Amino acid sequence: MKLIASWGSSGAGKSTVALAVAAALTQRKKDVLVVGMDTRTPMLPVYLPNAKLDRANSLGGVFEQTIGEAALKDKMIPHPQSDRLYFMGLAAEEVPGITYPIPNRASVQRLFDLLRQSPFSYCIIDCDSTAVLEPITLLALERSEVVLRSVTPDVRGHEGMKSQLCWMSNNDTFRSERHIPILNPVYPHTPLNEMKALEGTEPVVLPWAQQVAEWQLAGRLLTRFEEPKAAEFERRVWALVDRIEEAAYG
């Protein structure tokens, strides 16, 4: 099983990228688990807005005990439109540090080790934006074969990411060659050439599309769009998945 970290600046659509990549991988007959590790937002209602999930389904309680395979089985929630896509995360109205203790690095390390042994082809870790303050995200960035580094296409997103990458460059465990830079969401008025120049690389460009936003809000599988902008978004995600599979498996 390969780990993918979906990380980036606030508002850069980390979860949208994670869900779109996961959907594309399932279309390639891959089994995928998406794990919401944003410590500020309960992620199960984001992934599965129509599902009635409670603390019994939450990943939070797992960290209060010695984590084993049996403890994870009921926490993997299938997508209603795919038998290849599963989710883990916090349920509605849960607050890390209050509802459950904030997991420590050793507990998260144990979780990642167990996931490595799972039958999934890929596990996508949906990270927090501020890695320098969030040890779970730091570990995900260290351990993942591929990091999807999404940045909002504006100066604020660029400078925020630049400052974190500058800090990370002092640690050998953060290898930037594993990162795939992404600009998201890109609007018709976005100064795209200027942003590419700021990034200094050729990033994946994901256009904003209303149908993508609507389907995500409804909890639908993000694939097989009809609206032109959404179809273009999907084509670029498929090209991104080509890069992910090449990077993960060589």
Residue 80 sits in a domain of what CATH number?
3.40.50.300
Domain annotation covers residue 217: no
Instruction: Identify the pLDDT of residue 168.
Output: 84
Domain annotation covers residue 231: no
Domain annotation covers residue 224: no
Cβ(96)–Cβ(90) under 8 Å?
A: yes
Q: How far apart are CA 103 and CA 16, in angstroms?
A: 25
Instruction: Identify the pLDDT of residue 70.
Output: 79
Instruction: Identify the pLDDT of residue 120.
Output: 96
Domains: count for the chain:
1
Instruction: Identify the pLDDT of residue 40.
Output: 81
Domain annotation covers residue 227: no
Give average pLDDT by consecutive 10-residue segment, the chain, 250 residues.
Answer: 95 96 98 91 94 89 79 90 96 85 86 92 94 83 95 93 87 84 96 89 94 97 96 98 92
Domain annotation covers residue 129: yes
Instruction: Identify the pLDDT of residue 250.
Output: 75
Domain annotation covers residue 200: yes
Cβ(161)–Cβ(182) under 8 Å?
A: no
Instruction: Identify the pLDDT of residue 122.
Output: 97
Domain annotation covers residue 79: yes
Q: Which residue range(s) make up the domain with 93?
A: 2-205+237-249
User: How many C-beta atoms lie closer than 10 Å to residue 104's C-beta?
Assistant: 12
Instruction: Identify the pLDDT of residue 172.
Output: 78
Strand order in the sheet with 82-88: 77-79, 82-88, 32-36, 122-126, 2-8, 146-151, 179-186, 204-207
